Chains A and B, each alone.
Chain A
């Protein structure tokens, strides 16, 4: 570590890089395969990593376009991938913004405003959020079944229902933003109070501008979380045109209709943007996670 013999060091370096390269080859194998499969002909065919007869058929279908094969037959897209993507993005954006608004306001109150029973409420929120919503699916189904009788707009198979239930996933984000607010000097709010600002004004004009970085991280996190949700969406959403990407993608690989090639293209198309957003955000995300956990 401190004293390393040059020869040993070289061997170690070769070993380390060798291990890394082999490991990466294993880990990244699925990605290469999917890329290759998306250009292969047909949905069952097997072949080498670089396809012999590359075709754009699956890609046309993924973009929702008809594809005309060389022999003149026209293939229609099996599923509305673009519509699903739009549904996912729409729900993710609305629910993400909602969560962001609720979380930021609550975090400010929990950090700065004196409220009776605040400590107990925070502990309670922490314990409650350990219960995954997935476990209460039966009740959630029953609740929205009943709400649907008040208005179909709120019931099963509606995007509003999905957004409402996602809004409840706000606890973790309250904790993250609260941790950030806690680290802001109290002199700031005292100065504002002396100038006659109400708590709302202090929040609106002092804390909100300061919180933009953490808010963007929370938003990206929440957004990705909602896009990735499968269990809740699969219970609440039934019809094909209302499905989110996560629920719809599963249709590609069922026993009766196994569309491996079409799935590969659709997966890359829909997965790529989310992956890029995530890679950009992950730096902040991880520091937030480990800090948040230890701060308590």
Chain B
């Protein structure tokens, strides 16, 4: 191989490589530290593991082979495996729009709230004094001592004439962080602070942290952190929002299985998901196979044209065709209802009647999915030996009989893994449900948003992202249930593929 000899790549000095490796490692370590600092220790640890793995595998020559798979494996671990685990973890917490923050952030939010005393509130201006600044309060005619405005500072006010060099409002706003860290004392001893963009005044904090788990309100009431529910509780037992995230064990699962308003729709969605996935596979497979058999018929002309036209639904991006169907099925001005009305005088309400909506979902999914099955079936049909069929036909078997006793049994085994994969795909076919019906119409009498056409995946999505509640915790718990199903499917697929592979290699060697 001449190529290998005339190229002095990679085998040079290891120094440049080590420099790059160290630089990347340091960047990753910095990110890990930062994530830890903003109270995301889990992400910090992941980042740390990534940094360590990277440094070891690319730093040491021993792991030469592993360098090739490191990017792929770490991408899969971080962005597929970890999210799966993390989603399950969220299922055991109360993470939602009510319990969104970490504990430290919650305390910070509460203690930063303050009330301004309207009696002392007054406008201010900033005057330049050399490198430093003075605060000028025109209403009371007070001027502060010079301050640098780049750190926490205190200054006293004293009566003075208006300074000449006042900053523009815009420039004063740019000094905001310095102004907020400033405390001024009036000659009477009142302490005032920056209360808003334009004013200074006495600010009393609503809450003061008086212990690791206690806050004291301005009226003297004591708030205690309840780490079971993730809220501060006042003396009357009321929760004070915002709350923080805490682990709540199996509570979410208990809600799913015991709350009537959740269990009822869950069961119906669960059944529909299976019905939808199985029906989609069966319909697309039957239609695709039929078309493939017809296209395979030697006497048929214009095969190439038919084939291209039949594939079109598969070739057009799904998100476009689904939206097109959404428009065509529209109750009032959709073209499908116009035609149905002209022909039969009916105007089905595709989007408001649960059963019709489900039929529509299946029609659209069959339209979207049959070309894939047809293409696969055409491939597998070619592998069926022609002489088997001929022999059967000579024995007097009808074409249908030949198909069901000779052809079908031969193509089902290699087809099986693909059918299972198709089932898994449809089981989580969120795009279709989402763009077509968004899960609607709603199931009546539920405490959570649940629709007649919702499948489990779209249901969890709506739970987490679509309503005001943002119930990430509950969504995570339901996702765990979906994971169990998906795990079973993927194991089944794995076994089916192994079998198909063994059969094939067995046949080749025999």
Chain A residues with a Cβ under 8 A of chain B: 1-2, 4, 9, 12-13, 16-17, 19-20, 23-24, 27-28, 30-31, 33-34, 37, 44, 46, 101-103, 105-106, 108-110, 113-115, 121, 123, 125-143, 146-147, 149-150, 164-165, 167-168, 170-171, 174, 191-192, 195-206, 224, 227-228, 230-231, 234-235, 245-246, 249-250, 252-253, 260, 263-264, 267, 270-271, 274-275, 278-279, 282, 286-287, 289-290, 293-296
A263 and B323 within 8 A (CB): yes
Partner of A134, one of B319, B421, B457: B457
Which of chain B's residues have a CB closer than 8 A to the CB of A19? 294
One of A138, A197, A204 near B472 (C-beta < 8 A): A138
Residue of A nearest to B85 (CB): A139
Q: B328 contacts which chain A residues (CB < 8 A)?
A: 30, 33
- Tell whether, in the assembled complex, residue A139 and residue B90 are in contact, meaning their CB atoms are under 8 Å apart: yes
Q: Is the CB of B320 within 8 A of A140?
A: no
**A30 to B, closest residue via Cβ:** B324
Q: Tell whether B193 is near chain A: CB-to-CB under 8 Å.
A: no
Is the beta-carbon distance between A150 and B75 smaller than 8 angstroms? no
Judge whether B82 is part of the interface by a CB distance below 8 angstroms: yes
B residues 211-266 touching A (CB-CB < 8 Å):
none
B75, B310, B315, B380: the one within 8 Å of A170 (CB): B75
- With A267-B320, A267-B324, A289-B376 given, is the CB distance from A201 to B83 under 8 Å? no
A249 touches B320 (CB 8 A): yes
Contact status B325-A30, CB under 8 Å: yes
In the complex, which of the residues A170, A205, A290 contacts B418, with contact meaning CB atoms closer than 8 Å? A290
Cross-interface CB contact of A278 among B3, B76, B315, B414, cutoff 8 Å: B315
CB-defined contacts of B490 to chain A, threshold 8 Å: 127, 130-131
Q: Find A227's partner among B317, B375, B380, B498 (CB 8 Å cutoff).
A: B317
Interface string of B299-310 (1 = CB under 8 A from A): 110000010111
Question: Which of B76, B310, B393 is the one whose CB lies under 8 Å from A129?
Answer: B76
Q: How far is the CA of A9 from the CA of B461 in the complex (A)?
A: 54
| Inter-chain contact A296/B312, CB cutoff 8 Å | no
Least distance between B35 CB and chain A CB atoms (Å): 6
- How distant is the Cα of A249 from the Cα of B375 in the complex, in angstroms? 29
Name the residue of chain B whose CB is nearest to the CB of A165. Answer: B79
CB within 8 Å of A: which of B479-510? 479, 482-483, 486-487, 489-491, 493-494, 497-498, 500-501, 504
| A13-B299, A147-B43 known; A282 vs B84 contact (CB < 8 Å) | no
Q: How far is the CB of B133 from chain A (nearest CB, A)?
A: 30
Contacts of B209 in A (CB 8 A): none
Among the stretches B137-145, B176-184, B267-275, B429-437, the one at the interface with A is B429-437
Q: Do A109 and B69 touch across chains, with their CB atoms under 8 A apart?
A: yes
Taking a contact as CB atoms under 8 Å apart, the answer to whether A150 and B31 are in contact is yes
- Give the Cβ gap from B40 to chain A, nearest Cβ, in Å: 4
Quick one: which of B4, B72, B402, B461 contacts A205, CB cutoff 8 A? B4
Which residue of the partner chain, among A33, A46, A168, A295, contacts B78 with CB atoms under 8 Å? A168
B414 contacts which of A149, A164, A174, A294 (Cβ < 8 Å)?
Answer: A294
- B464 close to chain A: CB less than 8 A: yes
- CB pair A102–B66 under 8 Å, yes or no, is no
A267 to B323 Cα, complex, angstroms: 9
- Please judge, given known A-B contacts A131-B483, A296-B501, whether A263 and B327 are in contact too, CB under 8 Å: yes
Complex partner residue of A168 from B43, B76, B376, CB under 8 angstroms: B76
* Docked CA distance A23–B380 (Å): 23
A204 to B10, CA, bound (A): 11
Report B64-93 CB contacts with A as 1/0, cut-off 8 Å.
111011011101101111111011001000
Interface residue B98 (Cβ < 8 Å from any Cβ of A): no
**Do B34 and A170 touch (CB < 8 A)?**
no
Question: Which residues of B are found within 8 Å of A206, using beta-carbon distances?
Answer: 1, 3
Once the chains bind, are B84 and A106 in contact (CB under 8 Å)? no
Give the Cβ gap from B423 to chain A, nearest Cβ, in Å. Answer: 11
Query: For B489, what are the chain A residues with a Cβ–Cβ distance below 8 Å?
Result: 130
Distance from B307 Cβ to chain A, minimum over Cβ atoms (Å): 10
- Find out whether the CB atom of A140 lies under 8 angstroms from the CB atom of B501: no
**Contact A27 B310, CB 8 Å, known A1-B399, A249-B323, A279-B315:** yes
The reply to whether B457 and A135 contact each other, CB–CB distance below 8 Å, is: yes
User: Do B389 and A1 touch across chains, with their CB atoms under 8 A apart?
Assistant: yes
Report B483 CB to chain A, min CB distance, Å: 7
Q: Is B435 within 8 A of A286, CB to CB?
A: no
Residue numbers in B under 8 Å from A264 (CB-CB): 324, 327
B402: which A residues are within 8 A, CB to CB?
A: 1
| B13 is an interface residue with CB less than 8 A from chain A | no
Q: How far is the CB of B60 from chain A (nearest CB, A)?
A: 14
Output the nearest chain A residue to B294 by Cβ-Cβ distance: A16
Q: For B319, what are the chain A residues with a Cβ–Cβ distance below 8 Å?
A: 228, 230, 245-246, 249-250
Interchain nearest-CB distance for A285 vs B (Å) = 8
Q: A30-B324, A206-B1 are in contact. List 15 more A-B contacts (CB 8 A).
A: A2-B394, A16-B300, A17-B300, A19-B294, A20-B306, A46-B333, A105-B68, A105-B69, A127-B490, A134-B461, A165-B79, A196-B5, A234-B434, A245-B319, A282-B315
Q: Indicate if B428 sits at the interface (CB-CB under 8 A).
A: yes
Q: Looking across the interface, which residue of chain A has its beta carbon closest to that of B367? A: A27
Name 30 A/B residue pairs within 8 A (Cβ), A-sorted: A1-B390, A1-B399, A30-B324, A30-B325, A46-B338, A113-B65, A130-B487, A130-B490, A131-B490, A133-B79, A134-B430, A134-B461, A135-B428, A138-B90, A139-B87, A140-B79, A165-B79, A202-B4, A227-B317, A228-B317, A230-B430, A246-B317, A249-B323, A253-B326, A263-B323, A267-B320, A275-B315, A275-B317, A293-B417, A294-B500
**Is there contact, CB below 8 Å, between B86 and A142?**
yes
Interface residues of B in 145-189 (CB under 8 A from A): none
CA distance A153 to B501 in the complex (A): 45
Shortest beta-carbon distance from B44 to chain A in Å: 9
Q: Is B289 an interface residue (CB 8 A)?
A: no
B344 at the interface (CB under 8 A from A): no
B38 on the A face (CB < 8 A): yes
* A139 vs B472: C-alpha distance when bound (angstroms): 9
B353 on the A face (CB < 8 A): no
Is the pair B75, A102 in contact by a Cβ cutoff of 8 Å? yes
The answer to whether the Cβ of B104 comes within 8 Å of any Cβ in the partner chain is no
A165 to B424, CA, bound (A): 21
Closest Cβ–Cβ distance, residue A5 to chain B (whole Å):
12
Q: Is the CB of B310 within 8 A of A24?
A: yes
List chain B residues, Cβ under 8 A from A4: 299
Inter-chain CA distance A13–B319, complex, in Å, is: 36
- B80, B294, B324: the one contacting A136 at CB < 8 Å is B80
Closest residue of A by beta carbon distance from B476 = A138
Q: Give A211 Cβ to nearest chain B Cβ, in Å.
A: 14
If A106-B69, A113-B65 touch, whether A143 touches B309 (CB-CB below 8 Å) is no
CB interface residues, B 379-417, toward A, < 8 Å: 379-380, 389-390, 393-394, 399, 402, 414, 417
Indicate which residue in A33, A106, A150 contacts B73 across the interface (CB closer than 8 Å): A106
